[in-house]
Amino acid sequence: MFEVGDYIIYGSNGVCKVESVGPIKMPGVTKERLFYTLAMIYSNSSKVFTPVDSDKVIMRTIISPDEAHALLKDIPTIGTLQMEDERKSEGVYKDAMRTCECEEWLKAIKTLYIRKKTRLADGKKMNVSDEKYLRIAGDSLFGELAISLGKDKKEVEDYVMEQLEKATE
């Protein structure tokens, strides 16, 4: 069980801070059922109420600073997402996002970064779907790394993108 003050990943909502743990006043909900009240860190003061015993959404603690540093160090060696059929790329990106795992988010970002670089070199724009998943994966990864490392989200994004540029030259 998470404690008040913990930073967690709550599914596709990204980084949240546990504000309280306890019963909530809601019609049809017993006082014995415990809920987390979560403050979404990167979303206009939104709150999420979710049962402590819920298994419908992935909830996990954010990675430690040591794990964050190791992930950043491994950027050059982390692979890309594998696609057998380009027409099914959106499903591959969705699957990577649903894992709620930093390494999978980084693989998606790396894959999309390489695709973007290739398309731009060919005089083409990045397609809308690719832009969407690059933004979603970036928001998730950069937000978690920023909290874990005590840095600004933009600073983390700039660093990761710089490392991807070096790794794909």
Question: Residue 161 and residue 137: Cα distance in Å, rounded?
Answer: 13
Three-state DSSP class for residue 84: coil
Fold annotation for 63-167: Methane Monooxygenase Hydroxylase; Chain G, domain 1 (1.20.58)
- Closest to 13 in 3D by CA, of 31, 32, 38: 38
pTM strictly above 0.85: yes
Measured from the Cβ of residue 85, the count of other Cβ atoms closer than 10 Å reads: 8
Q: What is the pLDDT of residues 3-61, one digit of tens each?
A: 999 999 999 888 999 999 999 888 877 788 899 999 999 887 788 999 999 889 999 99
Residues 6+ away with beta carbon under 8 Å from 136: 12, 97
**Domain boundaries along the sequence of the chain:** 7-60, 63-167
